[in-house]
Amino acid sequence: MLGGGQKDSYLGTYRSAADVIENSTLDYTIIRPAWLTDKDEVDYETTAKGEPFKGTEVSRKSIGNFVAKIIDDPAPYARKNFGVNKPNTDGDKPAWY
């Protein structure tokens, strides 16, 4: 769910762009990462579009791993939209914020 104020203005732009992609005939995978960290770890979970987004952070290395999985076997990820976060990081902001 989008927050109020300024956040609405920039998240709304991303939502509009995602709508255009999802309503196209493109083969796509939309990745919605939590706050990105530089931690040297691969530890993530995904949520599908329509499920509540979980977690507040995820490592860039984890996103790279997820992208590599999509490249290796794109069919299970085709025309889908995923939230990606580190497990057990639920909250209002990342631990380092």
One-letter-per-residue 3-state SS of 35-97: EEECCCCCCCEEEECCCCCCCCEEEHHHHHHHHHHHHHCCHHHCCEEEEEECCCCCCCCCCCC
CA dihedral 50, 17, 54, 93 (to 10 degrees): -150
Position 3 in a domain: no
Residue at 43 is within a domain: yes
Domain assignment present for residue 36? The answer is yes
Averaged pLDDT in 10-residue chunks for the chain of 97 residues: 51 85 95 97 96 94 99 98 96 79
Q: Look at residue 2 in the predicted model and tell me its pLDDT.
A: 41
Cα dihedral 47, 1, 30, 91 in deg (nearest 10): -50
- Establish if 21 belongs to a structural domain: no
Number of domains into which the chain is organized: 1
Q: Residue 36 is part of which domain span?
A: 27-85
Entry pTM? 0.84
